[in-house]
Structure 1
Amino acid sequence: LAEAREAGILTIADAKRGDIGSTMAGYAAAWLADGSALAADAVTLSPFLGFESLRPALDLAAETGRGVFVLALTSNPEGASVQHVGHDDGSAAPSAPPASAGSRPAEAARGAAGGSVAARIVAAAAAENALRAGEDRLGPVGLVVGATVADRARELGIDLSAVRGALLAPGYGAQGATAEGMRSGFADAWPAVLATSSRGILRAGPTVAGLAEALRTNLSDLQG
C-alpha cells in the first residue's frame, strides 16, 4: 500500500471490516486515517452489525477524502440467506428518505418500512451520499455488488443507479461474469461500476508484459 501510494496509484483495501464502538473506530483509523501505514483510498466494510455501526469509518472517509465500499449483494451462494431476508416478491424496496437537519441519514433509511436487508443497505448508502455527494460527482459511500448477481437487484426492487456511489463489482473474468452480462445486470447503474479481475489478470503473469497485456484485454472488453 505504501509503495502504491508513493507511485500515485489508487488503492482499495479489501478488508471487509465490520465491528462496533472503539474496535470499528480502530479499523477506520487503520485503513482511512492520514499517516496510517495501511491507509488506502477506500476500504470494503461489512454492514451486518447494522449500517450505523460503520459510522466511524463513514465519517473518517468523508473527512480525509477517502471512500468506503459496503457489502450489499455478494456472489457467494450463502449471501442470499442474509441479504434477501425481508423481501416480499412484488414489493418495492424502501427508497432513501430526504436527509433532514439533525438526523443521520443511515438511521432514517433503516426505519423505512419493507424491503430486504440488501435494500436497506442500499437505501442507507444512498441517504448518506445525499448529504455528501456533489452535483457532478459520486458520494464517498459505494457498494459491493457481485458481478455475477447484479441482476438480483432488480428482482429485489433495488435501483442501484440511485445510490450515487461507486459500485465495486468483483467476479469479472475467472468467476464467470462477462462484460455483456454485467452491462445488462447493472443496467442504468453501469457507468458507476468498477469491475475487478484478479485471477483473470494474475494468471497471465508472472511477467510484467503478460500482466500488462491481460490488463489491456480486460479493459478493452469492459469499455467496448
Structure 2
Amino acid sequence: MPAFSVRLQQKILEHSPLCVGIDPSAALLKGAGLPDSPQGAFEFGRRVLEAVDFGISLLKPQSAFFERFGSAGLRALEELVRLARGQGVLVLLDGKRGDIDSTAAAYAEGYFSAGTTLRVDAVTTQPYMGLGALDSFLDIAFKAEGGVFVVVRSSNPEGEALQTARLAGGESVAQALCREITSRNRQWSESIGADAGPLPGPVGAVVGATCADADAMTVAMPHSFILAPGVGAQGATMHDVLRRMPNARGRVLPNISRAVLANGGSKAEIAATLRELQAQARDLM
C-alpha cells in the first residue's frame, strides 16, 4: 500500500483538498432529521458519503460524538469507517490522542494494527506531553503507511496562550513543534531513500484557519499537510484560508463539519453544499 501522503495527494488531485468532518452532535442530528442515537450518527455519515457518491478525499469522523453512545457508538463508528474506506475514501479519525511510551503505542495499535476493527488512514494527536512522547505512536503509524496530524495551532481561542507561550530559547511552543515535525518528516523521507521534496511526509499538522499566525506556522512546516479547521461555523471562509496560508497551496486541507448542513440536511441539500465547497477548495491547490 502506498504511503498515506501519496494516497492523500492522489485523492486531492482526483476530488479536492476539502476535508469533510462528521460531528454527529445531538443538535446536528436534529438538524438532519435523524435520531440522537448510534444509528442516527452512522446514518448521518452514510448520508454525507452517498450525497457525493463517495467523491471526497478525506472524511474526518469526530470520535467523541460516537463514543458518547458507548460500545454501540463505537460499533457505529467502525461501520462508518469500513463503509468509507471500502469505497476508497480516506479516513482521518479525529480523536486527538496523546500519551507516553507503551500507552501511546497501544492507541496507535488500535488504529493501525492488522487486527484492529477500527483501521483508519490517519489520526489526530495532541503533543502536550512533548512531541517525543508520541514517537512510538508515529513509528507504528509509519510502518502501517498511516498518517498523523499533530495539533500545533488550534482554532479555539483558549489554546492561544499555551501554544504561543515562549520557551527558554525564545521559540514559542507552536514554533518548536513546527521544527520537530519538520525534522521527523525529513527523517521519514531519508528512511525511504527520498529527498525531502514536494511530497509532504506522514506527519501533518492542525493549524486553525482563524489563527493570525497561520502563515508563519505553515511556512515552518514545508513538508506537512495542514489540516485547517475553522471554516464555516467558526467564521473562516475558503478565501481566509488562502489569505492566511498562501504558502500552503496544495498542502492545506480546509475542514468543514457543521457547515455540511448549511443548505439543509437532505441528501440533495448536502450534495449541493459539498459540491459548492469542493469547487471553492480547489482554488487552494
Offset, 1:158: 4.0
Residue identity (%): 38
For the pair 1:174 / 2:233, whether they are aligned, the reply is yes
What's the TM-score once normalised by structure 1's chain length? 0.82
Residue by residue over 1:31-64, the C-alpha shift from the partner in whole angstroms, topping out at 9 and shown as x without a partner, is: 2223311121100000000001111121111111
Q: What is the CA distance between 1:122 and its match in structure 2?
A: 0.7
Partner of 2:94: 14
Q: Deviations over 1:42-97 (max 9, x none)?
A: 0000000000111112111111111000000001111011100007xxxxxxxxxx
Q: Which residue of 1 aligns with 2:257?
A: 198
Q: Is the helix fraction higher in 1 or 2?
A: 2
User: Using CA pairs below 8 Å that are at least 6 residues apart, which structure has the higher relative contact order?
Assistant: 2
Give the aligned residue type for 1:152.
Answer: D
Q: What is the identity, as a one-letter code, of the residue corresponding to 1:164?
A: H
* From 158, 167, 180, the counterpart of 1:124: 180
Give the TM-score normalised by the residue count of structure 2: 0.65
State the Cα RMSD in Å: 1.9
Q: Could you tell me whether the CA contact under 8 Å between 1:122 and 1:163 is conserved in 2?
A: no
Instruction: After TM superposition, list the pairs within 5 Å mapping 1:118-197 onto structure 2.
Output: 118-133=174-189, 134=194, 135-149=197-211, 151-154=212-215, 158-160=217-219, 162-197=221-256
Aligned pairs for 1:1-150 within 5 A:
1-86=81-166, 113-133=169-189, 134=194, 135-149=197-211
Specify every segment of 5 or more residues in structure 1 that has no aligned partner in the other structure, as ranges. 88-111
Alpha carbons of structure 1 residues 69 and 84: separation in structure 2 relative to 1, 3 Å: same
Q: Is the deviation greater in 10-19 or in 199-208?
A: 199-208
**2: CA distance, partners of 1:153 / 1:195:** 13
What amino acid does structure 2 have at the position aligned with 1:42? A
Judge conservation of contact 1:171–1:197 (CA < 8 Å) in 2.
Answer: yes
Structure 2 residue 239 is matched with structure 1 residue 217: no
**In structure 2, C-alpha distance between the alignment counterparts of 1:159 and 1:22, rounded to whole Å:** 31
Report the secondary structure of 1:216's partner residue: helix
User: Which segments of 5 or more consecutive residues in structure 2 lack a partner in the other structure?
Assistant: 1-80
Moved over 6 A (4+): none
Letter in 1 for 2:187: L
CA contact (8 A) 1:126 1:165 kept: yes
Structure 2: how far apart are the matches of 1:68 and 1:11? 12
Rounded to whole Å, the distance in 1 between the matches of 2:126 and 2:178 is 13
